[in-house]
Amino acid sequence: MEEAKKPERYKEPSNWKGYVIPCAVALLYGAISYYFILPPINVFSSGFWGWLMSVAFFYLLGIIVIHTKNGRFDTKDYKGMDYKIALIAIGACLVVLVLGAIVSSKLFNARRYAGLIKVDSAVFEEDMPETTNVSNIALMDTASASIIGNRTLGSLSQVVSQYEIGSTYSQINYHNTPKKVANLEYAGFFKWFQNRSNGIPGYVMVDPLNNSAEYMQLNQAMKYADSAYFSKDLKRALRFSYPTKIFHKFYFEIDEQGNPYYIVSCKTPHAGLFGAMDVDEVILFNPCDGTSELYKLADVPSWVDIVFDGDLASEKYNWYGTLSGGFFNSIIGNKNCKRATNDYGYIVIDDDVWYFTGVTSVNKDESNIGFILTNARTGAYKFYPVIGAEEYSAMHAAEGEVQEKGYNASFPSLINVGGQATYIMVLKDSGGLVKLYALVNVEKYSVVATGQTQQEAMAAYRKMLEKNGISVGTVEDIPKTVITVSEVRLVTVEDMPTVYLTADDGKVYKGYLNLDESLILIRTGDKLSVVAESTQINDLYTIRSWTKE
């Protein structure tokens, strides 16, 4: 009887295929995936380790394909060192990701997370001067800006057929005036292919105060954009120029001459391997010629407005507010724990854009214990201990004032009206268009005033304060002007009875009859001592004295 033949053990191939092909597979995958995924070559990036692990996996896959016999790969038969190295590489990347996440966690680094920022206490009335004309408040949100911007672009048939407005409107301070700007993007691959040599011809600038937009034509077109392809793709061009930088956010801005730039924030960890990421450097990228410059945070030019985005600013304050007493206190005791509300508005102060958001106790979220301002360029924080209604309560109060119209309130900003902390917001219809302005007292949010213009809402709010016995602080110190009326005209503007007074010096003053019925009694020749906001047509706040001729 013949002895049964033992299965022949698989012998590893001795030719070059067993080594070259797995390396070629890994290198080919690594090059292609890097071109599209664009991970930073940086050990402090979890994305880098994930990409490296995928390259090692494809190297292992190449080994398995080469050494597969009769449709199967037997790890017991194949003992090649390259196979072990591939497994070790995959395991090492996985260990780094897991251990890196653990050692970078808030559990072991609570004070590092909390110590990223310093928050200075400030006095509301001292830091925020009284507002008589809301010219520094960007009340328009991105949704409303998009509607106005698209309407403007739609009137330019040659442009709108090839381009579309980017989805993000950056809030900037342009010549001491708040603006929202958005770059144009190619409307798809074929539109890019047709226009790639010409580039993107301009951008859209929205005025959030006047609810208007303007298309700005560039002298030199933008060749780099997020919607471009291959070497002109914005992120790819940045990655190839800065292969080790961990990019955070990209913001489109313009300098004081109207030249376009992308502001690119770069992050580094401050806890463990991946934890407490914060912005330390900024890249200014010129999309017209592809040039760029890297700045340390302290050296960023003053015209740049957005370095820290509002989400990061709120997140860092939440780390500070919840982790200053340690990790376990943030979970169990919550002693002195506080956090920012989940949205933010914008304020322009001294040529800088600041984020505004309320601060509430983690245990009580129906009222604010104060609010913070965060400088969007420098990352500085200020805390103001103003107790009152949180923003969403104020928004509901404003909506309730005109509930029959079904308007929705935008997230408010904060102003000082006669020493009173006041929320200011817009009310929009279902189509996203601004219909009314509203002011709500922070400490007493039942005091609500609305108006079709900012000036009308402001005047109505001041009268509401007086009617409710709330001191209007420094209003008495506002300079008064004595005028002699040479002409009186009563007209209706958007269903609002409005009185226009022309003084003998030619200046025109405007008042609203529904706010002050005594305006109807003014006649030519009357002398008035008035408090008014200085604009092209001066908006009357009040008449201090009145002499009949």
Residues 471 and 485 grouped into a single domain: no
Non-local (6+) Cβ contacts of 25 within 8 A are 58, 59, 61, 62, 65
Q: Which pair of tokens denotes residue 195?
A: 């226009």
pLDDT of residue 460: 86
Residue 396 lies in a domain: yes
CA distances from 414 to 251, 354, 391, 528 (A): 24, 11, 10, 32
Residue 131 lies in a domain: no
Residue 147 lies in a domain: yes
Residues 376 and 396 grouped into a single domain: no
Residue 123 lies in a domain: no
Residue-wise over 298-319: b if at least 16 C-beta within 10 A, else e? eebeebbbbbbbbebbbbbbbb
Residues 81 and 23 grouped into a single domain: yes
Last residue of a domain, one of 419, 451, 475: 475
Residues 415 and 487 grouped into a single domain: no
Average pLDDT on 476-495 reads: 77
pLDDT of residue 10: 46
Residue 470 to residue 419: CA distance in whole angstroms: 10
Strands 200-207 vs 177-186: parallel, antiparallel or unpaired: antiparallel
Residues 165 and 191 grouped into a single domain: yes
Residues 239 and 164 grouped into a single domain: yes
Contact (Cβ atoms closer than 8 angstroms) between residue 425 and residue 475 = no
Residue 451 lies in a domain: yes
| Number of domains comprising the chain | 5
Q: Which helix (H) or strand (E) holds 539?
A: strand 538-547
pLDDT of residue 150: 87
pLDDT of residue 78: 61
The DSSP output letter for 137 is B
Residue 54 to residue 4: CA distance in whole angstroms: 44
Q: Which residue has the higher pLDDT, 331 or 132?
A: 331
Handedness of CA 271, 277, 279, 280 (dihedral sign): positive
pLDDT of residue 307: 97
Residue 2 lies in a domain: no
Candidate from 184-198, 221-235, 338-352 with smallest mean pLDDT: 338-352
Does residue 288 register a pLDDT over 90? yes
Does residue 435 register a pLDDT over 70? yes
End-to-end Cα separation, the chain, in angstroms: 140
Candidate from 194-198, 207-211, 488-492 with smallest mean pLDDT: 207-211
Residue 171 to residue 6: CA distance in whole angstroms: 77
What is the phi-psi region of residue 166: left when phi exceeds 0, alpha when psi lies from -120 to 50, beta otherwise?
beta
State the average pLDDT for the chain.
87
Phi, psi for residue 339 in degrees, rounded to 5: -150, 160
Does residue 211 register a pLDDT over 90? no
- Reported as half-sphere exposure (CB side, CA atoms, 13 A), residue 447 has a value of 23
Last residue of a domain, one of 335, 364, 385: 385
C-alpha 41 chain-centroid distance: 27
Residues 463 and 487 grouped into a single domain: no
Last residue of a domain, one of 365, 385, 405: 385
Residues 283 and 165 grouped into a single domain: yes
Does residue 11 register a pLDDT over 70? no
Residues 146 and 289 grouped into a single domain: yes
Closest CA to 417 of 383, 377, 463: 463
Query: DSSP of 451-500, one letter per residue?
Result: ESSHHHHHHHHHHHHHHTT---GGGGGSPPEEEEEEEEEEEEETTEEEEE
Residues 231 and 164 grouped into a single domain: yes
- Percent residues over pLDDT 90 in the chain: 52
Residues 381 and 465 grouped into a single domain: no
Average pLDDT on 292-300 reads: 96
Note the pTM of the prediction, 2 decimals.
0.83
CATH of the domain at 483: 2.40.50
Average pLDDT on 407-415 reads: 90
Residue 216 belongs to domain spanning: 142-307
Residue 261 lies in a domain: yes
Residue 407 to residue 535: CA distance in whole angstroms: 29
Residue 134 lies in a domain: no
Report the interhelical angle of 106-114 vs 310-323 (nearest 10°): 110
Residues 255 and 226 grouped into a single domain: yes
Phi, psi for residue 3 in degrees, rounded to 5: -75, 135
